[in-house]
A and B are shown apart, each in its own frame.
Chain A
Amino acid sequence: MQNADFNIMGDNTDGMDRISELPPFIIHHVMSYLFRDEVARTSILSKKWNHLRNSFPILDFDQTDFFRSDSEVDSETEEEDFDERFYERLVDFAVYVSVALLRFCELKFRMQKLRIFINLLDPEVFSTILDIWIGAAVESEVKRLDFDIQTDRDRLYTLPQTIFSAKSITTLNFGGCKLEPPSGPVNFCFLKRLTLDNVYINDQMVQNFTSECTLLDELYFRYCWGMKCFCISKSLKLKVLHILKFNENYLESIKIAVPSLQQFTLVFERQQKAPCMIDLDGFPHLIDLKLVGGIFKDQEFHYFISKFPLHEKLFLQYCFLLERVTISSNRIKKVLIAHCNNLKAIDVEALNLVCFGYLFNPFPISSINIPCLWKILCNYEDADDHWFLNIKKFLRASRQNCDLTIYVLSIIICLQSPFNLDNFRMITPLPCGIEHLTVCVHKLPSNFATLVDAIFWICYPKYLSIRERTGTNSFCGFMMNCRTKMSAVALLMISSVGSMT
């Protein structure tokens, strides 16, 4: 077996070790494509490789590596034992990291990246050693620092002041720690990308970062807290700003005025109302806007988007304060509106749109003038006659073709029973043609025929797909059987069915 391997891999017969003769940076380049454990194992190949691995400038330490082996035993052992063993492993990990960092620093090479993921029960005990690790990285002129500490929110590790002298840093990711304002200036003159995840940071510190890091390009806040007035106004080059869910209720105001901004995402909890003072102004170059949560009322929203004509992408989700939305732009290319549950009217006039998605919203009064195929996803859940009437009206608002996906989540059919097609025909026009209808059946309804009649009364699809999650295929079977028995409208439909799954 071993011999066969030998030949397939085309091993050299002259037995020259050419890989070890490659320049170290090429071998490091190869290592950068390997997993952590694979890199670690190269140290045992030979003395030369041991040195190559010790001088590898990407240092990646993950505490979970030290806990993999005995996960099965865990459930059976006593809690006390577990705590003890957890602590032992933690110490092992800390020693391992310290030795590797120390070794690397002695070589006086530049560090490309340091990533540390650690889960601490008690950050105070470890804070000195964490400070040393950061100090070592700063001393080695680290370019990218990724420091993720999982711990209790009320026992956060405070980042040491040495971090602010890391002049060479270009990318900085902090998770689960506390950032205290520096005593001197922030010296991140090359910082381009900053991510703060679950970090305690105050107003002053946000100011420091954005006004003193002049090259800052991308800024990500996720679940951050500690701020009262979130204000960014002095950043000159910032292109991307993502604010994902402030992890607190004390936020009083948000003020953002960044002329260079191109991509802006502001996400609040689904039902959480944004703070009363939101001042977003001056984004003349914005092309990609994503708003999630109750941020704007109609008037504020329209005033806001009227100020940047260049946007290409608009994404609105859970914007429950919006009732009447008008989108009129010849530049916009992509619009997605999802879960905006209080929409009562929507007007879309966008001659260059290439993608329009209308996902899980109600079906309001609408006028939609767009050149592209649009996608509608909706839940059929205890829907009544009105629901079917509204969706039909909505579909007819646009002469454009659409893909419609209906998720059947209800077992109750609330239509007048039996469903009277003639009555409905009298009060509304013929069903409209659509490109593709997908019916996803999650719960089998009590009356298949009524559901099918109602759906086909809404629209004629060119293609019909049925997906059933109930596992019995009963709805599909029903559809196959009724090909011959269906009412006139439905029969027409089935004969044009292109794909049936």
Chain B
Amino acid sequence: MAIMYALKSSDNEIFEVEQKVIEQSETIKKMIEDGAATGEIPLQVSSKTLAKVLEWCKQRQHKTVENENDDNKGKRKKERDEDDDIKEWENKFSDELKADKDVLFDLLLASNYLDLPALLSFLCQLVADMVAGKMPEEIRRMFNIENDFTPEEEKAITAEHGWAFQP
């Protein structure tokens, strides 16, 4: 019987989760080890974000358990199929986040707060993919970044990094 823990989001919603799933978070793991987590574990994360975090953790947990159960026979084919499944899941997960950037940024902050390095790296890569190959004006528009340079300042910086602005 798996040990279950109750996580409480900042808006007071309760999530029942298996220990193995949430122990990926170093922050929660420490709370459990310190004995601070009897009953509900209160977290500074909204229910919407926490649901997403747990979606990620469950997928990761699933992956590691399956790998442990594999014996060597036919492993390669199975691995390839699994890799495809994971890729597909990750693509769907990424697409949702790209479509709702508020969730993306909440998730980034939550992955940092909960100390989930794999999720943090995944999200950073995702943001990098969104930025890659785009010109500054497109990036500003995508993330609502306000250009607070005077035209002269902007010109000076463009000149300094001239090599990076050549086609």
Contact = CB atoms under 8 A, between A and B. Distances in A.
Interface of A: 5-6, 9-12, 15-23, 26, 29-38, 40-47, 49-50, 65-66, 68-69, 96, 99
B149 A6 contact: no
A37 B163 CA distance: 8
Interface stretch (B4-12, B51-59, B62-70, B102-110): B102-110
Nearest to B127: A30
Contacts of B140: 45-46
A96 B160 contact: yes
B132 to A, nearest CB: 6
Interface string B139-167: 11111111111000010011011011110
A79 B54 CA distance: 64
Contact of A10 (B101, B132, B154, B161): B101
A10 B125 CA distance: 18
Contacts of A17: 143-146
B112 interface: yes
Contacts of B145: 17, 19-20, 45-46, 49
A373 to B, nearest CB: 14
Contacts of A19: 105, 127, 143, 145
Contacts of B136: 41-42, 44-45
B2 interface: no
Given A33-B125, A33-B128, A40 B161 contact: yes
Given A10-B101, A34-B131, 20 more contacts: A5-B138, A6-B141, A9-B98, A10-B98, A12-B101, A12-B144, A16-B144, A17-B145, A17-B146, A20-B143, A23-B112, A33-B128, A40-B163, A45-B136, A45-B139, A46-B145, A46-B147, A46-B148, A68-B166, A99-B160
- From A16, A44, A49, name the one whose CB has the most chain B CB atoms within 10 angstroms: A44
Nearest to A10: B99
B161 A44 contact: yes
Contacts of B148: 46-47
Contact of B120 (A20, A21, A29, A45): A29
A29 B158 CA distance: 23
Nearest to B125: A33
Contacts of A33: 124-125, 128-129, 132
B128 to A, nearest CB: 4
A41 B135 contact: yes
8 contacts: A18-B144, A21-B105, A22-B105, A29-B121, A33-B124, A33-B128, A45-B136, A46-B148
A488 B79 CA distance: 43
Nearest to A22: B108
A26 B124 CA distance: 7
Pairs A-B, 9 closest by C-beta atoms: A33-B128, A40-B164, A37-B164, A10-B99, A29-B124, A19-B143, A18-B105, A40-B161, A17-B144
A44 B164 CA distance: 11
A10 B99 CA distance: 5
Contacts of B138: 5
Nearest to B111: A26
Given A17-B146, A22-B108, A46-B149, A38 B132 contact: yes
Contacts of B163: 37, 40, 65-66, 68-69, 96
Contact of A22 (B109, B144, B149, B157): B109
A22 B148 CA distance: 18
Of A19, A21, A37, A46, most buried by chain B (CB within 10 Å of CB) is: A19
B154 A44 contact: yes
Nearest to A36: B164
A34 to B, nearest CB: 5
A99 B121 CA distance: 30
Nearest to A69: B166
A44 B158 contact: yes
B100 interface: yes
Nearest to A99: B160
Contacts of B143: 17-20
A15 B142 CA distance: 10
B61 to A, nearest CB: 24
Nearest to A40: B164
A44 B149 contact: yes
A12 B127 contact: no
Contacts of B149: 44, 46-47
A44 B144 contact: no
Nearest to A47: B148
Contact of B131 (A38, A40, A66, A69): A38
